[in-house]
A and B are shown apart, each in its own frame.
Chain A
Amino acid sequence: MSLNLGPGKLFRTASAWLCIGMTEAAFAQAGAAPGSASIFSPASTPADSIYHLSLFVLAICGAIFLAVFSLLVYSVVKFRRRAGDDGREPPQIYGSNQMELAWTVIPVLIVVVLFLASARVIHAVEDARFPAGTTEVTVVGHQFWWEFQYPQQGFIAANELHVPVSDPQHPTPTHLTLLSADTDHSFWVPRLAGKTDLIPNRTNNMWIDPHETGVYVGQCAQYCGTQHAKMLLRVIVQSRADFERWVVEQRQPAQPPGDSVAKGRQVFETTACVNCHTVAGTNANGKFGPDLTHLMSRETIAAGAALNNRENLRQWVQDPDSFKPGALMPAMQLDEHDLDAVTDYLVTLK
């Protein structure tokens, strides 16, 4: 065997460029779309280590592809039967043990390398240890929305997960305990981490340590029923100070509303609303739907299906199916007057 590494190296370089090209295409797309969630623009350690592993895997697969594809193209071009063929059969070759050995041993070596590279990242992500000061959040999947319990701080939020930013030098990660109230779900915010399923009667774990503030989008990635498509996720990464301020606000019970919305509050508390929703500090303490104590602190309603404003809230209470057909919230059958009143009340829940 001569040590002719030239073509091999060339292949690898070329394939690496090919992969980077593909990645760039994905990036370009990511740049164009503000709501992008490309797995190739990681912003947190688990997503980042997956990203680096994926580049390595893509480079190897790209090299294999180029090698085998070239052989295929060469065979198709070189060995096609020409016009004016003499009609004789080509020499019959039944096999070659040397060739078989070569194309067995080389793939085995590649597989060993890929396995070791994977095992390293599996260990780093799954068996990570957490520093003191890790934020704990318990995520409960529901058909078709997300419940976020903050056990250390003692309050519950929904659909928009607020976490503090983490400095890579002094990481302050967020550890998520994943539970489900009904069917299987999966927590997937591609720029922060790979997905982990939320499975009823089972406790799963994952963690994120976002390096930059901002909003990261994602959604449920395991089919969970009719409205699986609109079980969207927003992770809002805040500076430590902003996060602490948000926590203080969330821990407050609902501000006693003024007289102007007393009627709305009365409608809310005397209809079926209270069976499913909680407003801390009132007699509404249902658990099936999202906690509404600080409803207006969220940017969206219906797990991201609509922007959170007065008009949408009113329509949501009147006819949830208009945003999210199949959502488990029933149409409340209120008359126009009560509907306006209850909407007025809801928008005071800041």
Chain B
Amino acid sequence: MNDMTPTREQREAALEGMGCKRKRVEDIRFTQGKGKYVDDIKLPGMLHGDFVRSPYAHAKVTKIDATEALKLPGVIAVLTAEDLKGVNLAWMPTLAGDVQMVLADGKVLYQNQEVAFVVAEDRYIADDAVQLVEVEYEELPVLVDPFKSLDPDAPVLRPDLDGKMEGAHGPRKHHNHIFNWSVGEEEATDKAFAEADVTVKEMISYHRTHPSPLETCQCLASMDKVTGQLTVYGTFQAPHVVRTVASLLSTIPEHKIHVIAPDVGGGFGNKVGVYPGYVCAIVASIVTGLPVKWVEDRMENLSTTSFARDYHMTTEIAAKKDGTVTALKVHVLGDHGGFDACADPSKWPAGFFNIVTGSYDFPVAHLSVDGVYTNKAPGGVAYRCSFRVTEAAYCIERGMDVLAQKLGMDPADLRLKNFIQPEQFPYNSALGWEYDSGDYPTAMHKAMDAIDYRGLREEQKAKQEAFKRGETREIMGIGVSFFTEIVGAGPSKNCDILGVAMFDSAEIRIHPTGSVISRMGTKSQGQGHETTWAQIIATEIGIPASDITVEEGDTDTAPYGLGTYGSRSTPVAGAAIALAARKIRNKAQMIAAHMLEVSEYDLDWDVDGFQVKGNPERRKSMKEIAWAAYHAPPAGIEPGLEAVSYYDPPNMTYPFGAYFCVMDIDVDTGVAKTRRFYALDDCGTRINPMIIEGQVHGGLTEAFAIAMGQEISYDAMGNVQGASFMDFFLPTAVETPHWETDFTVTPSPHHPIGAKGVGESPNVGGVPAFSNAVNDAFGFLGATHIQMPHDAWRLWKVAKDLGAHG
């Protein structure tokens, strides 16, 4: 018998706990087409909504005539702002402290803005009826260029704010001004600049783009007039927040609202906000007493629900001759579109952009951000990044390269010279953050060795000479990026959404036979929570991950949480899971002590159970303890075995990484080929290395898309130019480069399992790596900064403008 007893290693392996490359359990249904998304849900009598949208970017709406639409058989109702005024919902608050029209109230501020909501028996009838609604517009001058938004004669976009010179984030200085947000020491920074040996200044733009998840935004609202219960199925990254917002807006008590986020087909920040479609579907269901479904099409998704970026960053760095940086000064002009609907924690109008000092030891810095209105769609979500962190990383990583070029220094050496050193952690940055942990030089050296950085530089030099001699038409660039993120929002002392502190939660219940159901306040949109959360629990309480069910997204069953975005799930909910599991283990220890008739202090935890100190043969497994908890609970101890934990993080976490991109560009065609892309990530403790690798692959692919072509642009009339996949670059396996991944591990000292979060790092670090590679390639021809996106046409034009075409 003894030979059959599993070894400690075997017992450990059977758990498939932290560190295991466990296969994603959700993929069993996803790969078989058995996922259940909002549009798969069909309720009896369900109606369908569709929007009449504005073809104009800026116009008065003088008349809406739905007579013909209502004559179409199958059309139930056409809602306009006038109807919504009856329930006080023509406008709704945004997460950024502004208000936003649900349906056009007298005017439209961007193309494709929602003007009327048609409700019909099926989607086809609704679509036909949309074409029959006659709307009269009176065109107004269009404001597209954010740099002209604060001109004295700029068109007034928001007459509703007329005279309100105090905004949600302080004083407004112009009718199109939203806020100014300043951090740091301006005087000391100016002084450092005055005393600097070298200074550089560059306007670095991060263009407007869009998260473009494969599943667009959608919801299904169902009001039961008998019970007074409102059920909303939706593509929500934060279902509990949606419930609270729905209650505040509708005045339906929160316990009468049931929000369910089923499988979500990608979010990337697009599904954090509350959109007019949700409000209209809910109102239509309340009015009709029938379920109403609203599903965006691709153009609606790309052109109306939450863009990302659109930050124009004037960046200045001061340094000594030897390359030591002495000060950083950044001014950002943020183009927020027609309404300020940024999805940031309430007190952070520019998110955590003040992480812009990056991985470098800047003694002083100053940051000033101005948000402005333009005739573009609202949004400003964190597209696969923490709040405005990818903008900040792009800003400083481009800025460091610009400085290196001016100093004639190697960009990797400049970074090594200025890194925050391991012994400086916890490190207080000049713009107010306390970095938890890091070892930047180790990561950088590992990465440089892995790709033979010095060898690549030699090769590049030879190629440049060959190019000058006319022997090749190809130029080579090496993109260096060393990013520090700030994720895991966040501590209740400085982070809230509409007043709700940004904690997260977990509930774990052990069944009598030792299997588990657990529920969290987060919501996976493809991150693999069902797999990784079970691994944390498995390691903490010694029950195999395969015996643990993870459930998210149902507000009636899951504990309240702030949801999944900003790489906050592992730093916040991951901690709550570990702490809930430890509560269970503590109780299990008391039960085990009773069962083994020893003091609980005489027990040691060992993989999947407790054993008596000095006598490991005497042990009780977690399964045995679970049975005892329900079957024969010790006197004085409550039966059952379950726990809930709410975790308020003491600090953010600061993942970092070293990324290198090697690129070859044909100057005659502008075609850029990524020869190598190496990504070293340090996300602290690694829960599932395979999922991390998958996350890095996905994030790098999005970074590649953004840097090399993905863009939402507008023409002078405010026509959105990137509103379909004909124009909006979404790379497939054909275009996507090969990714090499690597890692170091510097655990977070304040997190229960030392994990930092990884889902967004590759986007944050990837974009500057690509852009720096392009800039590095063209540098020897005289380029100092080339704006993104770097598509073939633009690179061809850069080459032409630099005289490379002869």
A and B physically associate? no
Chain A interface (Cβ < 8 Å from any Cβ of B): none
